[in-house]
């Protein structure tokens, strides 16, 4: 587990690097979930052609899916920038 499992001697850089690594693992998973929500909303929107309530529900899922995709992509980019500029590595 690295820095989080040590009882002492953990540097700030090592701690931040580990947190960024953890977030770097979670972001693609959350991005995948956002894409599933988007496509699920798209399917509901297409199949609810005559039902106005279902069309609005599908449109809402599409909107939330797109918003989540945008936010997760931004977080992914910010993490990469943070890691590259502050710690000097992209891995």
Fill in the DSSP letter of residue 85. I
Residue 68 or 1, more confident: 68
pLDDT digits (tens, 9 = 90+) for 52-67: 999 999 999 999 999 9
pLDDT of residue 1: 55
Token pair belonging to 14: 């090592």
What pTM did the predictor assign? 0.73
Asked whether the beta carbons of 17 and 23 are under 8 A apart, the reply is: no
Averaged over 9-25, what is the pLDDT? 80
Please provide residue 7's backbone torsions phi and psi, each rounded to the nearest 5 degrees: -85, -20
Please provide residue 6's backbone torsions phi and psi, each rounded to the nearest 5 degrees: -80, 145
């Amino acid at each position: 587990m690295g820095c989080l499992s040590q009882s002492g001697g953990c540097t700030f850089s090592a701690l931040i690097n580990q947190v960024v690594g953890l977030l770097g693992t979670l972001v693609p998973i959350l991005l995948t979930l956002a894409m599933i929500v988007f496509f699920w909303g798209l399917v509901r929107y297409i199949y609810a052609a005559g039902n106005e309530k279902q069309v609005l529900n599908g449109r809402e899922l599409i909107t939330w899916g797109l918003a989540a995709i945008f936010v997760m992509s931004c977080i992914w980019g910010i993490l990469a920038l943070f890691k590259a500029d502050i710690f000097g590595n992209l891995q």
